[in-house]
Amino acid sequence: MIEGSDKKNGMPACRIRAADVFCGVGGLTRGLEDSGIEVALGIDIDPACEYPYNQNNDATFRLKSVENIDASDLREAFGDVDFRLLAGCAPCQTFSSYNQKADVSDERWWLLRHFSRLVREIKPEFVTMENVPGLENHEVFEEFLNDLDCSGYDVDYSVVNCVEYGIPQYRKRLVLLASRLGRIELLTPERFGAERKSVRMAIGELRPIGAGESDPEDPLHRSSVLSDLNMKRMKASRPGGTWRDWPKELVAGCHRSESGKTYPGVYGRMEWDAPSPTLTTQFYGFGNGRFGHPEQDRAISLREGAVLQTFPGDYKFVTPGKKVNKKALGRLIGNAVPVKLGEVVGKSFLCHIASLTQNQSESI
């Protein structure tokens, strides 16, 4: 089953094929493909994901709800292959610390249960899932772990900070790997060969633009318009600072109140020589977090957000000639699995296979 080596990735070659449920615009898929894993199918309920997914990846997109996915759909996609990987990164808003209203009546609680159903029905050799750290505190995650255990999987999961893996962003995520073939673990940053990257290293070479302007050669490299008041606030902001640095007349009324003093993480600039803060779905807005450009008087652009999520600089998100919808694209980019994290996951499975093969050879 091990067919020599993959010179591009320096990993053992093997026939491993993946299906990516809740694939979004393809962050995880692209990372898996970059690692050397073939992805056959991506499934998502959002039609806005179809163009970017199909344009940038070798896999095929299917518009379908996880509730309506049948095991036969995935068996057909996997075909005759040595190893099958089922990936599922359910929308995470339900479990996020930012969501103060979610409860067990939220239908998104059931998405992970449907993913678990597919695991039980197909029993792929490998399973992976990425989500917000808060998921591990919920009963639905315990149910998922129990299902994996009962189905014969060895499981490794942990909360990782993406910055440790060469992603230029402080972003903590719960990453789970499972294998029916033996003990598995996520590669450490050292084994992966990661080097820390800063905002400057990621976006420092992009064309300068002003607030409300766009790069004529890249419609995704566009920034939001700033009101006169917010432009004054932007100019009064320093990299790594907060609204507390401003003159009093620029401070919003809600921040002057006692309760507002606990929210310093808005209206700030990023620092050139540090990773960015965690990107949210509204990273393109200056008042939505510390998403001000380190030097230019504007919020970061959609393209800069995508690059900070480690999408390639030429990743296509919008059909040529179609209007760029900042809100829709901000959501898709902010919710994406960082491409580099997907590569870490893929190489972890390939190392797992290589280790199993080596152990088998030594036992002969």
Residue 356 has pLDDT above 50, yes or no: yes
How crowded is the C-beta side of 338, counted as CA atoms within 13 Å?
A: 28
Contact present, 30 and 56 (Cβ < 8 Å): yes
Q: Are residues 188 and 155 in the same domain?
A: yes
Q: What is the mean pLDDT of residues 18-39?
A: 97
Residue 10 has pLDDT above 70, yes or no: no
Instruction: Provide the residue range defining the domain that includes 112.
Output: 2-197+338-356
Q: What is the mean pLDDT of residues 106-116?
A: 79
Return the pLDDT at 15: 81
**Residues of the chain with pLDDT > 70: what percent?**
86
Return the pLDDT at 95: 45
CB atoms near residue 244 (< 10 Å): 11
Asked whether residue 364 is assigned to any structural domain, the reply reads: no
Contact present, 170 and 278 (Cβ < 8 Å): yes
DSSP state of 299: B
Asked whether residue 363 is assigned to any structural domain, the reply reads: no
Location of structure tokens 């432009």: 231
Band of pLDDT at residue 91, cut at 50, 70 and 90: confident
Active-site residue 89, yes or no?
A: no
Location of structure tokens 């239908």: 107
Residue 223 has pLDDT above 50, yes or no: yes
Q: Are residues 137 and 250 in the same domain?
A: no
Q: What is the mean pLDDT of residues 203-209?
A: 98
Q: Which of 269, 279, 287, 288 lies closest to 310, judged by CA?
A: 279
State the total domains in the chain. 2
Q: Are residues 106 and 51 in the same domain?
A: yes
Domain of residue 75, CATH code: 3.40.50.150
The H or E element that residue 52 is part of is: helix 50-56
Work out the burial of residue 350: count CB atoms within 10 Å of its CB; fewer than 13 is exposed, 13-18 middle, 19 or more buried: buried
Q: Which of 81, 171, 181, 53 lies closest to 127, judged by CA?
A: 181
What confidence tens digit (pLDDT) does each residue in 270-311 have? 999 999 999 999 999 998 889 999 999 999 999 999 999 999
pTM of the model: 0.90
Q: Which of 23, 89, 92, 351 is catalytic?
A: 92
Asked whether residue 28 is assigned to any structural domain, the reply reads: yes
Q: Are residues 160 and 212 in the same domain?
A: no
Q: Are residues 274 and 310 in the same domain?
A: yes
Q: Are residues 257 and 113 in the same domain?
A: no
Q: What is the mean pLDDT of residues 144-166?
A: 97
Q: Are residues 19 and 166 in the same domain?
A: yes
Q: Are residues 128 and 70 in the same domain?
A: yes
Q: What order of strands is seen across the sheet that includes strand 172-179?
A: 60-63, 38-44, 16-21, 83-88, 126-131, 172-179, 154-161
Band of pLDDT at residue 245, cut at 50, 70 and 90: confident
Q: Are residues 167 and 41 in the same domain?
A: yes
**Residue type (1 letter), 335:** N
Q: What is the mean pLDDT of residues 150-173?
A: 98
Residue 261 has pLDDT above 80, yes or no: no
Q: Are residues 122 and 32 in the same domain?
A: yes
